[in-house]
Structure 1
Amino acid sequence: MPPESIAIDSEQAPRRSAKQRFIAAARWVLLLLVVAAAVWQFATNWSSVVHTIAALQWHRVVLSFIAVIAGIGFSTLSWQALVDDLGKPIGVGRGAQIFLVGQLGKYLPGSVWAYVLQIELGRRAGLARARVFAGTMFSLAVILVAALIAGALAVPALIRNEPSLSWLPWLYVLLPVALVMLHPKILTALVRIGFRVLRRPQPDHDIRLVVVLRALALALLSYISYGVHLWLLADDFKGLTFDPLLLCIGTMGAAMMAGLVAFFLPSGIGARETVIVAALTGLVGGPQAFAFAAVSRVLFIAADLVTAGGAALLAVVARRRQGDYHGDPGIE
């Protein structure tokens, strides 16, 4: 090797390693910030709901918490169905870590941090940024369609109970657009354009309708689980009747829609609670509705922290058993 080449290599190597160290440090700083934000929200809300939780039947609170975790699990699998279809499957352990740890970014102002963290965690796990970004954007379309479908169960009651929510039906203008975006041919065309712009190797097959339907079904199951979570809290004095269950499923769909619209708020805080209080006031009265909305918020934060921590451990186990992931060429 000529001396000039050795000199060039010796000069470039430190620059590359310095860049890698900076990116790694930035990932850790962002991760610590989002975890701290989630813990802070948990601590802030806990004092206002501890008395309400104490008054509830303990098994209702436990089952409600489990329902939230189930909903988060379905949401994770919905996201992973789309990401896996864009390349070599990543496995549940890696997928859960990327999605769930990344989701903690929503507790910082501006939901964009969740997507940034998911992309960087995916890159660290061996996935191309373009692949994670495409999967996340398609997942948003799936989530929106599922939320609109579920929310339809509660929108009339919400507007009747809270006139300030009369803007909710306008969100259904987005439904035809989101459905078009989920057509496999449209998705495939967008993926190929995006990968070409980012100079990534093209996927070896078109996105399949069965994958889109699977992702949508899993997203709907997540909203049903969230509805069961709210039902177990709010119908505590009603004997767990069926009509409030449908209302609670629709309420959680509409609440998540409101949270997506209020993306500038950390985890849609305030917007989601407004919808829940409006829906539950007719069932339990205003003060109780507010208390249940606060309890729901605390259980969601706790579930996010528990599932993210569990996913991180699961990813470590998966890496030790399966080794590093090498599915997207040109990442090393």
Structure 2
Amino acid sequence: MTKVMKQFLRWLILGGTLFFVTKALKDNWAGVTSIKIDAAGWAILAIATGVTLLAHTWAGWIWTWVLRDLNQPVPSIPFVQAYLKTNIAKYLPGNVWHYYGRIMAAKNANVSGGVATISVLLEPLLMAAAALMIVVVFGSQLAVSQTNFSLRILQFVILVVILCGIHPWFLNPLIHLLYKLKNKKSPNRNQSQVTINLERYPFRPLLGEVVFLGMRSLGFILTMLAIYPINLSQFPLLFGGFSIAWLLGLIVPGAPGGIGVFEATAIALLQNRFPSSVVISAIALYRLISILAETSGAALAWLDERSVKSNS
């Protein structure tokens, strides 16, 4: 019954978000089709695609940092290649196949299954923490009143909670719990117990994820800039809006790759600050740019891997 309810909830969320996006597109279709992209705009879109591809490559590098913080001195290049090749699988139903692919790639590189699993669980956790940090810093740009002192206090408290929540004092018990749950489900109950600990605060991976979100946000801002003039003063607003939409796309179930949830959230947050037709067009273009960047990353990683093997 619980499984049926989960499936129903996923389809309900996906259906609701797609309905919202479709309705917004229908209501603003005339404005969307009237938007023209000149030569400079196409050049900016190409740069946005390159920035987004760089962001995914950077995220693969951060995964190696997470593994090293778990005492696994893995080589960087093969793991970045594995990350890029598996990234496109997040659009498959279930939204877990990219994680499964990374676990298998790590196990094939002689990383224990427990450490591999914990690493792919920590990565989105750090991504979410980084997104929350950006939302706390820039999210007030989306509020009606940005001078509310109590709002500033609340933001500071949330930021402190986030930074404390990823401290090894709190993360290590969670890691041990997840590892025990994994071992209970494992058919090999007699396997030796391996101690998995974060020995230091994951400052470098966390800072890396902040840079990752910054690059993803920049890709979106460039996409907006390709079709609509943006002032520098509007960048914090777009950083905050993109981070909230991206975070919800990451954590809300039933949305492979965040499709639907990201779009609906971004439209709801930004349509009152920019023309609705511009927001919808930019979001649609950025989704295409993201898929193109992820597909290109997977293809380039595969070609590079093949080239290395043929030359060895």
Report the TM-score when normalising by structure 2: 0.71
Separation in 1 of the partners of 2:73 and 2:307?
Answer: 17
* 2:199 match: secondary structure: coil
Equivalent of residue 240 in structure 2, options 234, 247, 250: 250
Residue 74 of structure 2: aligned partner:
90
What secondary structure is seen at the aligned counterpart in 2 of 1:235?
Answer: helix
Q: Which has the higher contact order (CA 8 A, sep 6+)?
A: 2
Q: Deviations over 1:249-281 (max 9, x none)?
A: 212211111102323112111110122223442
**1:57 partner SS:** helix
- 1:288 matched residue in structure 2: 278
- Contact 1:235 / 1:241 at 8 angstroms: preserved in 2? no
Counterpart code for 2:133? I
Alpha carbons 1:153, 1:251 under 8 Å: kept: no
Spell out the pairing of 1:9-20 with structure 2 (5 A cutoff). Answer: none
Which one is further off, 51-60 or 122-131?
A: 51-60
Which of residues 198, 203, 207 in structure 1 aligns to 2:199?
207
Structure 1 residue 308: Cα displacement: 1.7
Question: Residue 142 of structure 1: which of 126, 148, 160 is its match?
Answer: 126
2:54 counterpart letter in structure 1: A
Matched, 1:234 2:191: no
Residues 207 and 231 (structure 1), Cα distance of their counterparts in 2 relative to 1, 3 Å cut: same
Change (3 A) 1:205 1:317: farther
Deviations 1:119-139 (A, max 9, x none): 122223332221111111111
1:61-76 alignment runs, 5 A limit: 61-76=45-60
- Over 3 Å counting, the alpha-carbon distance change for 1:127 and 1:314 in structure 2 is farther
Residues 111 and 266, structure 1, Cα contact 8 Å, conserved in 2: yes
Please give the alpha-carbon distance, in whole angstroms, between the structure 2 residues aligned to 1:97 and 1:123. Answer: 15
- Is this contact kept in 1: 2:136–2:158, CA < 8 A? no
Any conservation in 1 of the 2:36–2:227 contact (CA below 8 Å)?
Answer: no
- Secondary structure of 2:264's match? helix
Q: 2:188 maps to what in 1?
A: none
Distance 1:237 1:57, change over 3 A: closer
Give 1:282-321 correspondences, 5 Å limit: 282-316=272-306
Give the Å deviation of 1:176: 6.7
Q: 1:192 to 1:123 in 2, by over 3 A?
A: same
Change in CA separation of 1:174 and 1:101 when aligned onto 2, cut-off 3 Å: farther
Partner of 1:261: 251
Runs (5+) with no aligned partner, structure 2: 1-28, 145-153, 184-190
One-letter amino acid of the structure 1 residue matched with residue 302 of structure 2: A
% identical aligned pairs: 20
C-alpha distance in structure 2 between counterparts of 1:184 and 1:321, whole Å: 42
Q: Deviations over 1:87-108 (max 9, x none)?
A: 4422222211332222222101
Residue identity in the other structure for 1:89: P
Gaps of 5+ in 1: 1-47, 161-169, 323-332
Q: CA deviation at 1:305?
A: 0.9
Q: CA deviation at 1:297?
A: 0.4
CA contact (8 A) 1:146 1:253 kept: no
CA RMSD of aligned residues (A): 3.4
Q: Secondary structure at the match of 2:234?
A: helix
Distance 1:244 1:279, change over 3 A: farther
Aligned to 1:276: 266
Question: Does structure 1 retain, via aligned residues, the 8 Å contact 2:172–2:198?
Answer: yes
